[in-house]
Structures are given as structure tokens and as C-alpha cells.
Amino acid sequence: MKGIRIGISLGDLGGDGASALEASIQQFARAEAAGFQTAWAPNIFSFDAMTLLALAGPRTGSIELGTAVVPTYSRHPFYMAQQALSTAAATGGRFALGLGPSHKVVIENMLGLSYDKVAQHVEEYVSVVKSLVETGKVAFQGQCYRVNAGLQIAGARPFPVLIGGLGPRMRKIAATVADGTITWMTGRRTIGETLAPQMHAAARAAGRKDSPRIVCGLPVVVTSDAAGAREAVSKSFAIYGQLPSYRAMLDLEGAKGPGDVAVAGDAREVERQIEALAAAGVTDFNAALFPYGPDAKASFERTYEVLAELARR
């Protein structure tokens, strides 16, 4: 599809032991064969995203493999860069590192860490990671981090570093320190009227020649019952209507719940909605397929094929 790359969100398929891991890895080879340009692995409460992508690297040859996203607070930026560069080597340079601070409820309540100075933390974190990724060394003195170290990862080349930049300062960091943003549950109007203009303005003011990437992640379902599908999306993803950062994006969109920003409808309507995202400034679409209806497998496959066809254009 003109003006936008079509990707797919892939993760744990369930099951037990090695068979579950193997099934999850095979998804990436299938996505490449189907024509998707990118595939994104979440890093929540199942497989480690970079480990999964490193294993998928030798099974693929052209598709970009990215994380969406790896939490920052729980891992020192030096070791984040080390694992990311190792993953880049394993994927033959087809890697994109999506980073994010996660949420207070996760970092403080679950992990027992401080969620203090979020934007400052992310800006310094990305600065350290970017320096190591691009030069193999870093000498950084900040409020949150003081790092003097180097890395030598054979076969690794620099790769894009994206952040979940939702608030104004995070958008500026995404455009000026990182290489762009990777969003979730952020609608077309918010991207077109707020996020993209602010990021492009910040990049120009910083003298950056390349435009920042804007990766938009949304649930997608091809269906003749768009209203019912949106209601089901809102129920299934209700937590994203409650977490403060996503709630702020939904409010900015004028959306009551996650279903209001989902891409839903028949094949032509889904295509039209993705075209509208491209017109709003989205460079990459990260489709989270949402099975809907009495036959979940058939629903998934129908949506998969429509998106793959759009990706092949």
C-alpha cells in the first residue's frame, strides 16, 4: 500500500514448552512469506521479545523484526543495548528496538521499582542506548544514569530505536533523540492533528534530516459487523481504557473506549481506514489481529489475508 508499511503483531500462541516456542517462531516466517513488511513482538508477560526475534531471525530473510515495546526501568541501558545489538546480529540487520517506560502499576506495584522522572529517565536511557548502538561506546553523565562503557558485537549494525512517545515531552524525545515513536491505542485524529505535527516540528528544530518514524498499533478485524466488533474490542482491551497514558490518548481522540479506535469493517473499509492513517502521518502500521464472531480461526485468517494483500501492493 502506498505511503505506509503494513506489519503485524506476533507473540505467544499458547501451548506447552518447546512446541509453543516453535509455533511462535514459525509465525514470523509465515508473515514474511505472506508479504508483510514488518512484524512486531510485544514484551509483556510471556516470551522475551528480543529472544523471540533472535530465534526468528535465521528463519526469515527480508522482513523487519521489531519489539513493541521492551520496558526500560527493569533493565540497565548498557545491557539493553547489548541484547539489542545481539538481536540485530541474529536478524541480519533487520531489527528495530521499540522501548517504553511501561506503567506505574507494573513498575512500582509489580516490580517494586521507582517510576520517578519518567521523561527524564527515557531521554537519558535512549541517549545511552543510541550511543552504544551507533558508535559502540558511551560516555554519559546524567541525573538518572552515569555510564562509561563500550561494546563489540560481531555482525551488528545500527538499527532504529523507537519509543512509546505519548505525552508532549515524550514525543519530542522520540523525534529528536530516538528515531521515532511506536504507539498503541492512539487514533488517526490524534496522530494527524497532534502527534505527527509536533514530532515533525521538533525534528526540524533539532536539525534532523530524516523524518521520524511513526508506528501505529491498533486492533484490526475484517467483519460485516463493525459495531459489534468494536464493542468486543472495548471489552477485551478494557485495561487500555484505564491506564493513564492510553486513557489520555483516547480522550484526545474523543474515544469512549479502545473499540472506537480499532480498524474494523469489511475489506474495503479496513483499507480505507489504513489509508487515512497514512494520510495522517503514520509510516508503519502494526496490526493486532482481533478474531471476532462464532469462528475465531476463520475471522483471524480472513483479517490476515486482507492485510497481507494490502502489504503486498
Please tell me the pTM assigned to this model: 0.96
Model pLDDT, residue 166: 84
For residue 17, the model assigns a pLDDT of 66
Mean per-residue pLDDT, 11-25: 79
The string of pLDDT tens digits covering residues 258-279 is 999 999 999 999 999 999 999 9
Instruction: Work out the number of other CB atoms within 10 angstroms of the CB of residue 122.
Output: 25
Report the pLDDT value the prediction gives residue 19, as an integer from 0 to 100: 87
Average pLDDT of the residues of the chain: 96
- For residues 303 and 290, is the Cβ–Cβ distance under 8 A? yes
> Angle, to 10 degrees, between the axis of helix 296-312 and the axis of helix 17-34?
40
Domain boundaries, the chain: 1-163
Contact 309, 273 (CB under 8 A): no
Q: Which of 109-113, 133-137, 172-176, 280-284 has the lowest mean pLDDT?
A: 109-113
pLDDT at residue 13, rounded to an integer: 66
From CA 30, how far away is CA 36, in angstroms rounded?
9
CATH class of 1-163: alpha beta
pLDDT at 11: 84
pLDDT at 180 over 90: yes
Over range 278-299, report the average pLDDT.
97
Whole-angstrom Cα distance, residue 182 to residue 282?
10
Among the residue ranges 73-77, 95-99, 165-169, the one predicted with the least confidence is 165-169
Residue 165: which pLDDT band, with cuts at 50, 70 and 90? confident
User: Are the beta carbons of 254 and 194 closer than 8 angstroms?
Assistant: no
